[in-house]
């Protein structure tokens, strides 16, 4: 299968062409996310899709008369951001039975709108973990083809899960015979479902290892897939050269997923010391959506979230934040994952301040959303930091995010693949 997302991310064409388009960014500072060092002042030279140089002064060999110069006084430049857990086709204002009325074509249109909002917030790459009808692949390809604006999308297609589990549709009686397209039971069935998703061009596989907050009739902490099923699924995914993310709130499900070899665990609510040690041993990444609890409990009832889900979130939210603090203190690999779609898309960056509030330094939070996420996707040589030779994904924010992480909520300029996608200075 020709995978446009990975092809676009993995190859940077030569910029030695005399007809290359040159862009020069001048700002107060640029952040080296690997070292935490601020380059002050900062000049970044971009040719076509690639970063050519990052320095304190404009290189002498740059023909500035043919270049477009953007002056960003008072701003800091950071790498384009990653959100490693979103649902672009999800509408935060539509929940419960009303969500069941949404068709795949309607959800795809919603996804196109949300993709634009996400890009405008500074997120140039996202991992979309779960979408019916492979709608997220359609959004991914439309963005790549230039038909709609949006971030670079790593799409999972339908999430895989057990009959009656978090990734199934459980709101109907048996008479309707409604089953989610990602349902698979048993080691060979899950292998088949992985192969089916790969056949249709996914970039990543997501499966549900435990119950969840937003599903009907599931216990949020209860393990669903057996270890044998998880092990078969992960083996199949890795044999196909992809990465795998496990939705897991409950302790046993978290541990089983890690032992099975998943690349990341999502949510990670009920965490104990053994699970932390397993994550450290296996190098597993945690993606913990610690902002969403505020939206669910504050706005969820008005948005139509069922009382069953609200009750589950009341039990899970504070525990998940305590688990986040423990994981950070222990040094577990962490990426930025917001679960966008449960709350309004475009508000992704609100999670930064919560990550700092519950244990991260400002730099750690930024690393989670940049170089750590790129590394999880095995694209650290091409994305995730401001370095010569990497794809030019660059975001400008007013002020210094190492002093005040909330400036990440007020992005001024967004560049993806060397192209200015958002420039909010023009609207002032």
Q: What confidence tens digit (pLDDT) does each residue in 353-382 have?
A: 999 999 999 999 999 999 999 999 999 999
Torsion of CA 199, 205, 206, 210, to 10 degrees: 100
**Averaged pLDDT score across all residues of the chain:** 90
Residue 293's pLDDT is what? 87
> Per-residue pLDDT for 394 more than 70?
yes
pLDDT in the model for residue 405: 98
| Six token digits for residue 263 | 């690349």
Distance from C-alpha of 366 to C-alpha of 359, rounded to nearest angstrom:
13
183, 132 Cβ separation under 8 angstroms = no
For the four alpha carbons of 181, 186, 189 and 190, in that order, the dihedral sign comes to positive
Query: Could you give the count of Cα atoms lying within 13 Å of 415 in the half-sphere of its Cβ?
Result: 29
β-bridge mates for residue 265, sequence order: 246, 286
3-state DSSP call for residue 320?
A: helix
> pTM of this prediction?
0.92
CA distances from 75 to 16, 33, 43, 136, 394 (A): 29, 16, 12, 33, 12
pLDDT value of residue 171: 60
Q: At what angle do helices 292-303 and 307-330 cross, to 10 degrees?
A: 170
pLDDT reported for residue 220: 83
Give the pLDDT of residue 312: 77
79-103 residues labelled b (16+ CB within 10 A) or e (exposed): bbbbbbbbbbbbbbebbbeeeeeee
**Cα 371 from Cα 374, distance rounded (Å):** 5
Backbone angles phi, psi at 12, to 5 degrees: -115, 120
Q: What is the DSSP letter of 160?
A: B
Minimum mean pLDDT range among 15-24, 154-163, 222-231, 307-316: 15-24
The span from the CA of 282 to the CA of 81, in Å, is 25
Q: What is the pLDDT of residues 74-89, one digit of tens each?
A: 999 999 999 999 999 9
Q: Lowest-confidence range among 123-132, 219-228, 312-321? A: 312-321
Identify the weakest region by mean pLDDT among 16-20, 33-37, 43-47, 199-203: 16-20
- Secondary-structure percent of the chain, ordered helix, strand, coil, rounded to 5: 35, 20, 40
pLDDT band at residue 11 using 50, 70 and 90 as cut-offs: very low
- What mean pLDDT comes out for the span 178-204? 92
Quote the pLDDT of residue 61: 64
Q: Are 261 and 282 in contact (CB under 8 A)?
A: yes
pLDDT of residue 166: 74
* DSSP reduced 3-state for 133: helix
Confidence of residue 352 (pLDDT cuts 50, 70, 90): very high
| Residue 12 pLDDT class (50, 70, 90 cuts) | very low
Q: Can you give the pLDDT at residue 103?
A: 87
Q: What is the pLDDT of residue 212?
A: 76
Cβ neighbours of residue 187 under 8 Å, at least 6 residues apart? 228, 229, 231, 232, 233
- pLDDT attached to residue 169: 66
Residue 125: helix, strand or coil by DSSP?
A: strand
pLDDT of residue 300: 75
Choose among 426, 369, 379, 372: nearest CA to 401.
Answer: 369
DSSP assignment, residue 175? G
The C-alpha atoms of residue 118 and residue 96 are separated, in whole angstroms, by 24
Specify which residues 155 forms β-bridges with: 128
**Tokens, residue 136:** 């997220």
Mean pLDDT of 299-327: 86
- The contacts of residue 120 (CB under 8 Å, 6+ apart) are 346, 411, 414, 422
Euclidean distance between CA atoms 274 and 277, whole angstroms: 5
pLDDT of residue 13: 43
pLDDT tier at 297, thresholds 50, 70, 90: confident
Residue 159's pLDDT is 95
Q: 347 in helix, strand or coil?
A: coil
**Structure confidence by residue, pLDDT tens digits, 240-252:** 999 999 999 999 9
Please, which residues have CB within 8 angstroms of residue 348's CB and are 6 or more apart in sequence? 81, 83, 86, 118, 121, 123, 338, 340
Alpha-carbon gap, residue 349 to 149, rounded angstroms: 19
57 pLDDT above the threshold of 50: yes
Query: Which SS3 state, helix, strand or coil, does residue 286 take?
Result: strand
pLDDT at 1: 37
pLDDT confidence tier of residue 99, bands split at 50, 70 and 90: low
Beta bridge partners of 397: 76
More confident residue, 73 or 294: 73
Phi, psi of 397 (to 5 degrees): -130, 150
Give the per-residue pLDDT at 145: 97
Residue 145's Cβ-count burial label (10 Å; 0-12, 13-18, 19+) is: exposed
- Split at pLDDT 50, 70, 90, the class of 176 is low
Question: What is the predicted pLDDT for the residue at 10?
Answer: 44
């Amino acid at each position: 299968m020709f995978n446009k997302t990975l092809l676009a991310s993995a190859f940077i064409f030569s910029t030695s062409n005399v007809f290359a388009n040159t862009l020069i960014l001048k700002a107060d500072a640029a952040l080296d996310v690997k070292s935490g060092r601020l380059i002050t002042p900062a000049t970044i030279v971009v040719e076509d899709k690639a970063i050519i140089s990052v320095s304190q002064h404009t290189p002498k060999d740059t023909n500035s008369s043919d270049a477009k110069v953007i002056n960003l006084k008072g701003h800091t430049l950071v790498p384009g951001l990653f959100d490693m857990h979103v649902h672009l086709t999800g509408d935060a204002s539509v929940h419960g039975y009303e969500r069941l009325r949404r068709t795949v074509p309607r959800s795809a249109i919603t996804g196109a709108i949300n993709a634009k909002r996400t890009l405008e917030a500074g997120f140039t790459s996202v991992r979309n973990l779960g979408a019916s009808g492979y709608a997220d692949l359609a959004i991914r390809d439309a963005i790549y083809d230039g038909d709609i604006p949006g971030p670079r999308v790593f799409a999972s297609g339908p999430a895989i899960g057990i009959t009656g589990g978090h990734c199934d549709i459980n709101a109907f009686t048996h008479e309707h015979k409604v089953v989610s397209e990602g349902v698979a039971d048993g080691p060979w069935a899950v292998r088949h479902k992985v192969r089916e998703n790969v056949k249709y061009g996914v970039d990543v596989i997501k499966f549900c290892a435990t119950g969840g907050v937003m599903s009907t009739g599931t216990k949020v902490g209860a393990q669903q897939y057996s270890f044998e099923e998880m092990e078969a699924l992960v083996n199949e995914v890795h044999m196909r050269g992809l990465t795998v993310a496990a939705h897991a709130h409950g302790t046993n499900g978290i541990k089983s997923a890690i032992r099975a070899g998943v690349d990341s665990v999502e949510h990670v609510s009920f965490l104990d010391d053994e699970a932390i040690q397993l994550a450290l041993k296996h190098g597993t990444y945690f993606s913990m959506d610690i902002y969403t609890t505020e939206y669910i409990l504050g706005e969820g009832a008005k948005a139509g979230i069922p009382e069953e889900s609200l009750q589950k979130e009341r039990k899970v939210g504070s525990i998940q934040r305590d688990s986040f603090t423990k994981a950070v203190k222990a040094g577990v690999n962490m990426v930025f994952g917001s679960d966008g779609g449960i709350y309004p898309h475009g508000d992704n960056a609100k999670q930064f301040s919560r990550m700092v509030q519950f244990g991260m330094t400002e730099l750690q939070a930024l690393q989670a959303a940049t170089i750590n996420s790129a590394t999880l996707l095995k694209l650290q040589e091409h994305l995730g930091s401001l370095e010569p030779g990497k794809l030019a994904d660059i975001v400008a924010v007013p002020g210094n995010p190492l002093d005040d992480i909330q400036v990440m909520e007020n992005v001024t300029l967004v560049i993806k693949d060397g192209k200015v996608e958002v420039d909010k200075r023009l609207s002032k």
